[in-house]
Amino acid sequence: MAAVLSEGTVAAVALTAVLVAVLLLATGYDPLQVYATMVEGSLTGAGLVTTLQQAVPVIGLALALCFSFRAGVFNLGGEGQFVLGGCAGTVAALALPGPGIVVIVAAMAVAALVAAAWAAVPPLLQERLDAPIFVTSLLLNYPAIALTSYAVKTWLKDPASSLMATRRVAESRRIGPLIPAGSGPGRTVAGLFGPDSAPALITSGLSWSLVVVAAVLALTLFAGARLPVGLEARILGLNPLLARHTGVNVARVIRSHMVIGGAIAGVVGTCVVLSSHYRFIDGGLDGTGYAVTALLVVLLGRSGPWGVVVAGFFFSALTVGGQAMEREYGLSSHLSIIIQALVIFLVTLRPTRARSARWTS
């Protein structure tokens, strides 16, 4: 397996740590103590569980975007596909008959179909009207969010609640905790990560969604390494001209990767609703910021599945560690956002410097 993160990315993270340390010193804080607090708050005990909880949807969405990004197609519509899938999956979980596990799987299938259909629109517009996918996919986020908002406020609203939300999904149709309360595995987790981690695992929302995202990762790796469409996508992403000359059906590859990515985003949206919210809330998914973070994760991970996993966990740990830092020192947790922005900024500068060096040599 190739390196998970490039040397330039690692260097960008290290340089960011130095720059932030200088900023902390200038404001009277010991950077080593601040960093230690962030690491302890995000990678031990209940903090580790919270980091994993936040990383699951971010990594899931980032893997969805990987399908199109690796083919050189910039799908910026992950948020709309995520929200539409979450809404469709919730409606299916509320309406479909049958045993709980069957309804959960059916809800994910419905979410995948709806989100995939929405993701198929940008490549169609590009083929028929020559409209760039990165523009149309971004713009389609707004009608997707507006449609779900209108549906919740009119047809789907729970009359017994003051929230702009659907009815709560029955307990048997929810995605349950990965480790049930009081179980042997729960005690094992407590032994590994601290005495408070098992209860936190139950209350934090870390659920079988983790297994779903792991399955998505396996699918992404298999498709990229073993299926012809994965090879075609890599060729297209590296050199579109070569792809056309070698007989790659460019339109088909773009359509398939957009559709698969949209389907995954829809499934992730349903996982978030059925494992934590238990109802679709107007603004509850698009207000999480998962889609924007996923875009940054794909950039930092260089569109590679394992790179996305590492970058997604890193960004989630930064967020949770920033909250621990705020509690301990009174520093704004937005420092973690500054760190994320600096890392991305430095990563994007690196290719520019390389090109400049080639032109001046």
Question: DSSP for 181-215?
Answer: TT-HHHHHHHHHH-TTHHHHHHHS--BTHHHHHHH
Tokens of 184: 């042997």
Q: At what angle do helices 228-238 and 209-226 cross, to 10 degrees?
A: 80
Q: Which of 151, 137, 85 is nearest to 113 (CA)?
A: 85
Amino acid in the structure at residue 138: L
Contacts 24+ apart (CB under 8 A), 353-361: none
Determine the Cα–Cα distance for residues 190 and 182; give it in Å rounded to an integer. 11
Q: How far is CA 62 from CA 38, 47, 100, 197, 296, in A?
A: 24, 22, 28, 26, 9
- What is residue 193's predicted lDDT score, i.e. its pLDDT? 39
Neighbours of 355 (CB within 10 A): 9
- What is residue 46's predicted lDDT score, i.e. its pLDDT? 83
- What is residue 82's predicted lDDT score, i.e. its pLDDT? 96
Determine the Cα–Cα distance for residues 230 and 222; give it in Å rounded to an integer. 9
- What is residue 199's predicted lDDT score, i.e. its pLDDT? 41
- What is residue 268's predicted lDDT score, i.e. its pLDDT? 95
- Classify residue 192 as exposed, middle or buried by CB count within 10 Å of its CB (0-12, 13-18, 19+): exposed
- What is residue 204's predicted lDDT score, i.e. its pLDDT? 45
Q: Are 257 and 71 in contact (CB under 8 A)?
A: yes
* Measured torsion, CA atoms of residues 296, 299, 305, 310, in degrees rounded to the nearest 10: -60
Q: Render each residue's pLDDT in the chain as its tens digit; 361 residues.
A: 445 666 777 888 888 889 889 988 988 888 899 899 999 998 888 888 889 989 999 999 999 998 888 888 889 999 999 999 999 999 999 999 999 899 999 999 999 999 999 999 999 999 999 999 999 999 999 999 999 999 999 999 999 888 899 999 999 999 988 776 555 444 434 443 344 444 443 344 478 899 999 999 998 888 887 888 788 888 888 788 888 888 888 889 899 999 999 999 999 999 999 998 899 999 889 888 888 899 989 988 888 889 899 999 999 999 899 888 888 888 777 778 888 888 888 877 754 444 444 433 4
- What is residue 187's predicted lDDT score, i.e. its pLDDT? 42
Q: Which residues contact 73 (CB under 8 A, 6 or more apart)?
A: 123, 133, 134, 254, 257, 258
For the chain, give percent helix, strand, coil, nearest 5.
75, 0, 25
Q: Are 181 and 152 in contact (CB under 8 A)?
A: no
Please give the full DSSP string across 71-118, using - where no structure is assigned: TT-----HHHHHHHHHHHHHHHHHH--S-HHHHHHHHHHHHHHHHHHH
Tokens of 69: 């990004």
Amino acid in the structure at residue 263: A
